[in-house]
Chain A
C-alpha cells in the first residue's frame, strides 16, 4: 500500500505542537527536538515561555548548555545573551551588537498544563487554533496530566496504532484488552469539532452486563445493563483522543446523558521528534473516582504500562520499516480508519508544502 509520504515536506509545521509540560520549563534551559528542530525553552522576565532554536548564531553552541539570567538565556561559550524573542541583548566586552546576532524564536503558549509551540510560519500563529480538551477544568471532572513517553517510531505508526481499536485485545492483554470486543465491527466517520478536522472509529456495545471497571465507578441494581462505547478520534495532524462511555442501558445518547455515566477523554498529543521518534504526551480527563488519589495512582501506572506496550510494538515496526523500506504488504478490514487517517494527513502535509510529482 502506498502510504509513504509523497509530500515535499515531512510534517505539517503550521500547527501548535505539545512541546513540554509546563513544570519541565523552570529555572534551567530545557531542550527538546521537535520536527527535526532542536528547541530550547526557558522563562522570560515575565515568567512567560520563550522558545528559541537551540543554537547560538556565533559558533553554533547549543544555547541549552548555557544558563538563564534575568529572563534571558546566556550562551555557555562566550556569554552572549538572548531575550525571549531571540534578539541579542548583551555581548560581554563590546557595545556593538551585530544585526546578525539573533536566534529564531517560536511562538509559545501554555494551556492544559502544557507548553505549545507553533513550529511553522510565525505570522500564522493563532491561539484560537489551539486544540480543545473536552471538560478540562469543568466541575466534577478530574484531570490526570503530566504523562510523557518518548516512542521510537514515526508518528504515522503511532497514529495508525491509536486509530485501531482491534489491536487492544491482542497487544494489551495484560492491561486494557477485552477478549469479548474482538469481533465487534468498528464504524468510521469524518468529524469536525471546534475547527479541528479528523476521523473517528467507534463502536457501541449495547445492553451488556456491567464490567468490573464499570463497578469501580458506578453503582448498579441487580440485572441492570450498560450501553458502552469507545470512540477513537484522530484530529489532524497529531492528536489522538479515545473517548470511553459507560451509561445505564436504554437512554438516549445525548451529551448530557453520557456525562451522567462514566466518561473518559484520553488524549495523546503526538509531536514528531524526527521521522524516527515521537513525543507521546498523554492527558486523561474523567468524571468518576474524582479526588480518589490512591485509585488515581493505579490508573496512572496502568496507562503508562499500556503505552509502553504500544511503544514496544511501534518501535519494533519502525525498525522493520527502516530495514525493508516497506510499510505494509497486505491490508485487512481494520485498516479502514488508519488508511483514511493517513490519506488525510498526507493531504494536509501536501497542502502546506506542495506535492512531489512522481517520476514517469
Chain B
C-alpha cells in the first residue's frame, strides 16, 4: 500500500493511503481533510489546494507550469516548497511523501 503523510493546520501528521494515479489534492480531499478547499476541482484556477512539500523530496515532483507558478505567486503564504496539490499526480516514487496543508489566503 502506498501512502502520503499529511499535516493539517490542527493536529499531528497522519499517514493516509494514497492511490496511484490520483492527484495529491484528490488524495488529501478523499482522506477527509476539510482544510483543503480545492474549490475548482483541479483545473488550476483557484489556488485553494496549496501545500508545502517536504523540502528534501521537492525535486522529485514534476515541474510546475507557468499557470501554477503565477497562482502561487498570488498567495501570501508561498514558500520555496509550495505546490498546488491538484497539479501533482501521485506516483510510486512519491510513496511516503510528507505534505503540510498551507494556510488559506
Distance of A252 Cα from B42 Cα, bound (Å): 35
* B70 at the binding interface (Cβ < 8 Å): yes
Residues on the B chain within 8 Å of A334, using CB = 45
Interface residue stretch chosen among A35-43, A79-87, A301-309, A338-346: A338-346
Known pairs A2-B105, A328-B39, A333-B40; A339 contacts B46 (CB<8 A) = yes
List residues 312-360 of chain A with CB under 8 A from any CB of chain B: 328-336, 339-340, 343-344, 347
Which residues of chain B are near A253, meaning CB under 8 Å? none
Contacting residues of chain B (6-56) with chain A, CB-CB under 8 angstroms: 37, 39-41, 43-48
B46 touches A331 (CB 8 A): yes
CB within 8 Å for A190 and B70 given contacts A333-B45, A339-B46? yes
Which chain A positions have C-beta within 8 A of B40? 330-333, 335
Smallest CB-CB separation from A189: which chain B residue?
B70
Q: How distant is A234 from chain B, measured CB to nearest CB, in Å?
A: 12
The reply to whether the CB of B75 lies closer than 8 angstroms to some CB of chain A is yes
Q: Does B64 contact A (CB under 8 A)?
A: no
- Are A331 and B76 within 8 A (Cβ)? no
Q: How far is the CB of A184 from chain B (nearest CB, A)?
A: 15
Q: Are A336 and B71 in contact (CB under 8 A)?
A: yes
A340 lies within 8 A of B105 (CB)? no
Q: Which residue of A is nearest B43, CB measured?
A: A333
A188 interfacial contact with B, CB 8 Å: yes
Instruction: Say yes or no: is B92 at the interface (Cβ < 8 Å to chain A).
Output: no
Select which of A1, A2, A336 is within 8 A of B67 by beta carbon. A336
Distance, CA A145 to CA B69, complexed state (A) = 38
Are the C-beta atoms of A330 and B74 separated by less than 8 Å? Answer: no
Give CA–CA (A332, B48) in the complex, Å. 12
Q: Quick one: closest B residue to A188, CB to CB?
A: B70
Q: By the criterion CB–CB under 8 Å, are B74 and A331 in contact?
A: no
Contacts of A332 in B (CB 8 A): 40, 43, 45
A331 to B49 CA separation, bound complex (whole angstroms) = 12
Question: Separation in Å of the A2 CB from the closest CB of chain B?
Answer: 5
A340 touches B43 (CB 8 A): no
Provide the residues of chain A in CB contact with B41, threshold 8 Å.
330-331
Give the total number of A-B pairs whose CB atoms are below 8 A apart: 58
Chain B residues near A344 (CB-CB < 8 A)? 74
Asked whether, in the complex, the Cβ of B37 is within 8 Å of the Cβ of A340, the reply is no
- Chain A, 181-213, contact with B by CB distance < 8 Å: what is the 0/1 string? 000000011100000000000000000000000
Given contacts A188-B70, A330-B40, contact A339 B75 (CB under 8 A): no
Task: Please determine whether A188 and B67 come into contact, CB atoms closer than 8 angstroms.
Answer: yes
A340 touching B48, Cβ below 8 Å: no
Interface string of B52-82 (1 = CB under 8 A from A): 0000000000000001001101111000000
A2 in contact with B104 given A331-B39, A331-B41, A331-B48 (CB within 8 Å): yes
Cα distance A331–B41 when bound, in Å?
Answer: 7
Distance in Å: Cβ of A308 to nearest Cβ of chain B: 28
Residues 73-97 of B at the A interface (beta carbon under 8 Å): 73-76
Closest chain B residue to A339, Cβ basis: B46
A335 to B46: give the CA distance in the assembly, Å. Answer: 7
The answer to whether A190 touches B67 (Cβ under 8 A) is no
Cα distance A344–B70 in the bound complex, in angstroms: 11
Contacting pair B39 A343 (CB below 8 A)? no
Interfacial chain B residues near A329, Cβ < 8 Å: 39
With contact pairs A331-B39, A332-B40 given, residues A343 and B46 touching in the complex (Cβ less than 8 Å): no
Nearest B residue (CB) for A328: B39
- Cα-based distance from A334 to B46 in the complex (angstroms): 9
Rounded to whole Å, the gap between the CB of B7 and the closest CB of chain A is: 17
- How far, in Å, is A284 (CB) from chain B's closest CB? 29
Could you give, for residues 1-37 of chain A, a 1 whenever the CB lies within 8 Å of some chain B CB and a 0 otherwise?
Answer: 1100000000000000000000000000000000000
Contact B37 A1 (CB under 8 A): yes
Residue of A189, A328, A336, A340 contacting most chain B CB atoms (<10 Å): A336
**7 A-B residue pairs with CB within 8 Å:** A2-B37, A2-B104, A188-B67, A333-B43, A333-B44, A339-B74, A344-B74
Extra contacts, 6 of them, besides A2-B104, A340-B70 (Cβ < 8 A), are A190-B70, A328-B39, A331-B40, A335-B46, A336-B70, A343-B74
What 10 A-B pairs have minimum CB-CB distances, sorted nearest first?
A: A331-B40, A331-B46, A331-B39, A343-B74, A333-B43, A336-B45, A335-B45, A340-B74, A333-B45, A1-B39
